[in-house]
A and B are shown apart, each in its own frame.
Chain A
């Protein structure tokens, strides 16, 4: 039995998010993420720990961990509950961490299934839960999801067909040695597998963006004081949420609001202006800005286009540099904006001229915010993997194909090369439905004239 992981609370922003790990490796995974080799809390007693990120010394969250040893747990197996703060980004990072340590995303209803197979429930309870799962299945049958599944299946068709094609070539070569088959062209198959692996990789990599679209994209507005961050924040929200004054440093705390841009959920955060300050309250605000910047999926660096750049602007730009960001040059309504236009440097990340007063350039800004998430030129334009299980299966399939590719290159015998191809096909089959041996045999007999 392997160890599964899933978010136990509804997806999206909430005060607390509970991640559940179930299976034999639960405790050892928990040990790794808190960085304590002998971590073993008293059963059912929550303990507070820091969750360590993959980067050295980074801390993802302070969380409560509760260990429920099997068989006295919900699933009947060793189970660890991790109560994090409810940010979808943090929750995803913690789940990713467990995946990296060998956990697998749970299938629908899989925790309940384990509870059932371990005899942890009576019939009435079980049926209640089954109804719940059925209800979810019904919900899942809704138009949108069906379309998404259909779309995924159709995008998987090409790699799947290519996989079947290579399997047919290799299987025929070893099953029908006495038949007059065309010589196996290993280099052609290598080429074909390269494409399969890259198709699968491209699809899987849409998940990075895909999950953002489901949980909300964190867009954080940053810049030195008094460049008009809060005005822009209000303008994007289309109501006066943040207090705006002429006084630099008015915004002392981060402020987050939810909005939809073209149907994509955005968590927009206004921050305190970045500068060194002796004011204690303002310093705390700046610290929070840094925190918000670290969590953001996209930074909007605001500059004041009516003035020359200051050292604080350059500092803000350099702090944003390593993250995904765009530059908004504000105050296009002020006369000096145009005269400074020519002397402005160009920004690698692209810049947008706006006016938080007149609303000039706001449409362009909105488009620029969405642009990284709805890339139009990739082969998977507009299509994104949002389900962690699909992501996991695509990656596993890709790895299997990759290993076959390597064996083929090394001149290994067909039966070894075929292992990864069949496994890969099986993983994809868990998304689209299995390909049976008979279907592959049919393909062989349709392709080659077999038989004495």
Chain B
């Protein structure tokens, strides 16, 4: 077969995973095609118009530190920035922003079009072309054939997508857009184990028909915290969101009409995320709650459309309109687009290596919802890793992976490829063993040098990073080296504020170990000239370093002690049945998960300590044959 065009890397799908993948691969010097059904919808936010949130904001920062694009684009399109968990420790704070939906698309498209080696192509992919079991190219619906030794599939909900509203169902990747059926078939033909997941969206309302005074405004932060380390200023005017509640009347009406919900009629079989339930689910599963929270989120500066977050539903469209009007403040509201549920195929992510290449087909990479995840940020970070590795593979360079100890991206990929998914996977801070080390504000310290070594971080950004790193190091020394003494003018006030006696003399680093010590206290001790060029945010980072240092060290020792065997390797062909004294059930659990290290085996749910002990002893024996 001859190809109409030949590339190094082809990315299928122009969502959040596809954009990162294409951008990374092309910037690493690979001729890269981004093939999507509709170029006008590149970077579309299919669900709520927001980026970030707890753990998700961490991911965006990590993507940014590695040289990805999501953070920069979100900063340009963000219309309401808020740093979440401000009252808690730095490790669990995270940036979040509402984004102008159409501006986000426009900015993403502009970013990709400005990237050398990146070629946008519109078309629907029908077939994967293999040669001797390796990726060779793709065939489009219009007959064109593109060649490439590496292909990234990031098709989101389009893979065999089916939309449900009430009893109406139709094949679609998003409401009004065709689904990708042939590609799904092609993957099945290759033998990939495919499952079915479900997600949903709420209706979008005409803002002119909302009684805004019935809702409580939720203002943006006065000083927005951006996603990208490169962003100095947020240019977009900032807006309010609004908070309201459902009423018992709404719940009663939903209960009466449950039989019309495809979720409860058995029409939908795919598994939906428990942390993003439909309003039907909320009413049924939490029957004792007489109201559920709703958010009115503006879709952008230039539109009346308002996203009714918290009211995801697959009830019939005409019923949705009736239900909305039972909500206080929405008595005369009109729906512009009804909510819907969508079912789609995903491929078992245990088919993947840590580089997100499939074990089955050399040169084929999967990223995003095809791997069973949910969320723009989860998709984007996988796109980045898959795009990087697709380019590295073509260039014959060693693969790139990040470890779970050093990043949420590593946590996510490690969880996916080892444990698989049985519901759409979302990142949570509690999934990270090293939560205290993985802060949004130190993502650059953790990852920027990887991005630089790969070639994704340019000179300008690297210079900015190294200067920031130097400033933080200097700050660290200042905090270590400055003492607050009882005789100091500020001592009494600080001691009183913290409600403790600080002793005769304490370094500022020691002071930072106390909760409640913030920038104001440090600034009251150190005048601005002693902290040249150091921002408030950097002082917060320095204090967080002090606060967490002791805990992180204790945790490290603990992990070392408890998990000292984690790196023991398990051969891919290891026969678990051969372990004497293991119950049938334990053998099955091992075989289903097929761990490659003892650390992975340890995280398999449901194993007994005895089973792990048996495995450990066996591994130690086999590890030292001589």
Q: Which residues of A contact B (CB under 8 A)?
A: 1-2, 104, 107-109, 112-113, 116-117, 119, 121-123, 126-127, 130, 133-134, 137-138, 171, 174-180, 410-416, 418-419, 423, 426, 429-434, 436-442, 445, 449-452
- Give complex CA distance A174, B227 in Å: 20
* Chain B 277-315 interface 0/1 with A at a Cβ cutoff of 8 Å (1 = within): 100001001100100110100000000000001101000
Is B289's CB under 8 angstroms from A415's CB? no
- Give complex CA distance A445, B621 in Å: 42
Known: A112-B617, A134-B580, A434-B607. 16 other contacts (CB 8 A): A108-B613, A117-B623, A174-B429, A411-B515, A423-B558, A429-B609, A430-B609, A433-B606, A437-B428, A437-B430, A449-B277, A449-B286, A450-B275, A450-B277, A452-B48, A452-B309
What are the 8 tightest A-B residue pairs by CB atom distance, in nearest-first order?
Answer: A413-B89, A180-B293, A116-B620, A445-B274, A449-B286, A436-B605, A452-B309, A451-B276
Is A130's CB under 8 angstroms from B429's CB? no
22 A-B contacts (beta carbon < 8 Å): A108-B613, A109-B613, A113-B616, A113-B620, A116-B623, A121-B624, A123-B624, A138-B581, A174-B429, A177-B85, A413-B92, A414-B88, A415-B92, A415-B436, A433-B607, A434-B602, A439-B605, A449-B289, A450-B277, A451-B276, A451-B277, A452-B312
Q: Does residue B564 face the partner (Cβ distance < 8 Å to A)?
A: yes
Q: Give chain A residues whose Cβ lies under 8 Å from the Cβ of B625.
A: 122-123
- Give complex CA distance A108, B277 in Å: 46
- Give complex CA distance A432, B605 in Å: 13
Q: Give chain B residues whose Cβ lies under 8 Å from the Cβ of A412.
A: 515
- Give complex CA distance A104, B275 in Å: 41
B570: shortest Cβ distance to chain A, in Å?
15
Q: Give chain B residues whose Cβ lies under 8 Å from the Cβ of A452.
A: 48, 276, 293, 295, 309-310, 312
Give B50's nearest chain A residue, CB to CB.
Answer: A452
B430: contacting residue among A175, A178, A423, CB under 8 A: A175
- Give complex CA distance A177, B429 in Å: 13
Q: Give chain B residues whose Cβ lies under 8 Å from the Cβ of A112.
A: 617
- Give complex CA distance A130, B289 in Å: 57
- Give complex CA distance A168, B605 in Å: 18
- Give complex CA distance A432, B84 in Å: 36
Is B623's CB under 8 angstroms from A426's CB? no
- Give complex CA distance A451, B515 in Å: 30
Q: Does residue B1 face the partner (Cβ distance < 8 Å to A)?
A: no
Q: Give chain A residues whose Cβ lies under 8 Å from the Cβ of B562.
A: 426, 430
Is B431's CB under 8 angstroms from A449's CB? no
B603: contacting residue among A137, A414, A433, A436, CB under 8 A: A436
Q: Does residue B220 face the partner (Cβ distance < 8 Å to A)?
A: no
Q: Give chain A residues whose Cβ lies under 8 Å from the Cβ of B436.
A: 415-416, 419
Q: Give chain B residues whose Cβ lies under 8 Å from the Cβ of A434.
A: 602, 607, 609
Give B243's nearest chain A residue, CB to CB.
Answer: A180
Give B610's nearest chain A residue, CB to CB.
Answer: A137
* Chain B 552-591 interface 0/1 with A at a Cβ cutoff of 8 Å (1 = within): 0001001011101100000000000000110000000000
Asked if A449 meets B605 with Cβ closer than 8 Å, knowing A174-B88, A411-B515, A414-B92, the reply is: no
A149: shortest Cβ distance to chain B, in Å?
9
- Give complex CA distance A31, B227 in Å: 55
- Give complex CA distance A130, B614 in Å: 9
- Give complex CA distance A419, B53 in Å: 22
Q: Give chain B residues whose Cβ lies under 8 Å from the Cβ of A107.
A: 613
- Give complex CA distance A419, B292 in Å: 31
- Give complex CA distance A439, B430 in Å: 12
Q: Give chain B residues whose Cβ lies under 8 Å from the Cβ of A177.
A: 54, 84-85
B197: shortest Cβ distance to chain A, in Å?
15
B274: contacting residue among A117, A126, A418, A450, CB under 8 A: A450
Is A137's CB under 8 angstroms from B614's CB? yes
Q: Does residue B183 face the partner (Cβ distance < 8 Å to A)?
A: no
Q: Give chain B residues whose Cβ lies under 8 Å from the Cβ of A419.
A: 436, 551, 555
Q: Give chain B residues whose Cβ lies under 8 Å from the Cβ of A445.
A: 274-275
Is A133's CB under 8 angstroms from B617's CB? yes
Is B626's CB under 8 angstroms from A179's CB? no
Q: Does residue B435 face the partner (Cβ distance < 8 Å to A)?
A: yes
A449: shortest Cβ distance to chain B, in Å?
4
Is B430's CB under 8 angstroms from A441's CB? yes
B491: shortest Cβ distance to chain A, in Å?
21
Is A109's CB under 8 angstroms from B276's CB? no
Is A178's CB under 8 angstroms from B602's CB? no
- Give complex CA distance A180, B91 in Å: 22
* Chain B 460-480 interface 0/1 with A at a Cβ cutoff of 8 Å (1 = within): 000000000000000000000
Is A122's CB under 8 angstroms from B286's CB? no
B339: shortest Cβ distance to chain A, in Å?
12
A435: shortest Cβ distance to chain B, in Å?
9
Q: Give chain A residues whose Cβ lies under 8 Å from the Cβ of B54.
A: 174-177
- Give complex CA distance A381, B561 in Å: 33
B186: shortest Cβ distance to chain A, in Å?
32
- Give complex CA distance A451, B292 in Å: 10
- Give complex CA distance A430, B419 in Å: 21
Q: Give chain B residues whose Cβ lies under 8 Å from the Cβ of A439.
A: 605
Q: Give chain B residues whose Cβ lies under 8 Å from the Cβ of A121.
A: 624
Q: Give chain B residues whose Cβ lies under 8 Å from the Cβ of A174.
A: 54, 85, 88, 92, 429
Q: Give chain A residues whose Cβ lies under 8 Å from the Cβ of B276.
A: 451-452
Give A427's nearest chain B residue, CB to CB.
Answer: B562
Is B292's CB under 8 angstroms from A438's CB? no
Q: Does residue B217 face the partner (Cβ distance < 8 Å to A)?
A: no
Interface centre among B84, B275, B558 (most CB of A within 10 A): B275
B195: shortest Cβ distance to chain A, in Å?
17
A449: contacting residue among B292, B430, B516, CB under 8 A: B292
- Give complex CA distance A442, B273 in Å: 11
Q: Give chain A residues whose Cβ lies under 8 Å from the Cβ of B2.
A: none
Give A107's nearest chain B residue, CB to CB.
Answer: B613
B502: shortest Cβ distance to chain A, in Å?
15
- Give complex CA distance A411, B88 in Å: 10
Q: Does residue B256 face the partner (Cβ distance < 8 Å to A)?
A: no
Asked if A2 meets B624 with Cβ closer than 8 Å, knowing A180-B293, A415-B92, A415-B436, the reply is: no
Q: Give chain B residues whose Cβ lies under 8 Å from the Cβ of A176.
A: 54, 275
Is B617's CB under 8 angstroms from A130's CB? yes
Q: Give chain B residues whose Cβ lies under 8 Å from the Cβ of A113.
A: 616-617, 620
Interface centre among A130, A171, A410, A415 (most CB of B within 10 A): A415
Is B285's CB under 8 angstroms from A449's CB? yes
Interface centre among A2, A117, A177, A426 (most CB of B within 10 A): A177
Give B613's nearest chain A residue, CB to CB.
Answer: A108
Is B626's CB under 8 angstroms from A122's CB? yes
- Give complex CA distance A250, B82 in Å: 89
B30: shortest Cβ distance to chain A, in Å?
36
Q: Give chain A residues whose Cβ lies under 8 Å from the Cβ of B51.
A: none
A137: shortest Cβ distance to chain B, in Å?
5
Is B561's CB under 8 angstroms from A2's CB? yes
- Give complex CA distance A177, B55 in Å: 12
Q: Does residue B608 face the partner (Cβ distance < 8 Å to A)?
A: yes
Q: Give chain A residues whose Cβ lies under 8 Å from the Cβ of B274.
A: 442, 445, 450-451
Give B607's nearest chain A residue, CB to CB.
Answer: A433
Is B609's CB under 8 angstroms from A123's CB? no
Is B617's CB under 8 angstroms from A413's CB? no
B428: contacting residue among A116, A175, A179, A413, CB under 8 A: A175
Q: Give chain A residues whose Cβ lies under 8 Å from the Cβ of B208.
A: none
Is B602's CB under 8 angstroms from A451's CB? no
Asked if A415 meets B91 with Cβ closer than 8 Å, knowing A116-B624, A137-B610, A138-B581, the reply is: yes
Give B47's nearest chain A residue, CB to CB.
Answer: A452
Interface centre among A174, A180, A438 (most CB of B within 10 A): A174
Q: Does residue B618 face the partner (Cβ distance < 8 Å to A)?
A: yes
Is A180's CB under 8 angstroms from B292's CB? yes
B279: shortest Cβ distance to chain A, in Å?
10
Is A109's CB under 8 angstroms from B624's CB? no
- Give complex CA distance A429, B612 in Å: 12
Asked if A438 meets B623 with Cβ closer than 8 Å, knowing A113-B617, A175-B430, A451-B275, the reply is: no
Interface centre among A104, A117, A138 (most CB of B within 10 A): A117
Q: Give chain A residues whose Cβ lies under 8 Å from the Cβ of B310.
A: 451-452
Give A442's nearest chain B residue, CB to CB.
Answer: B274
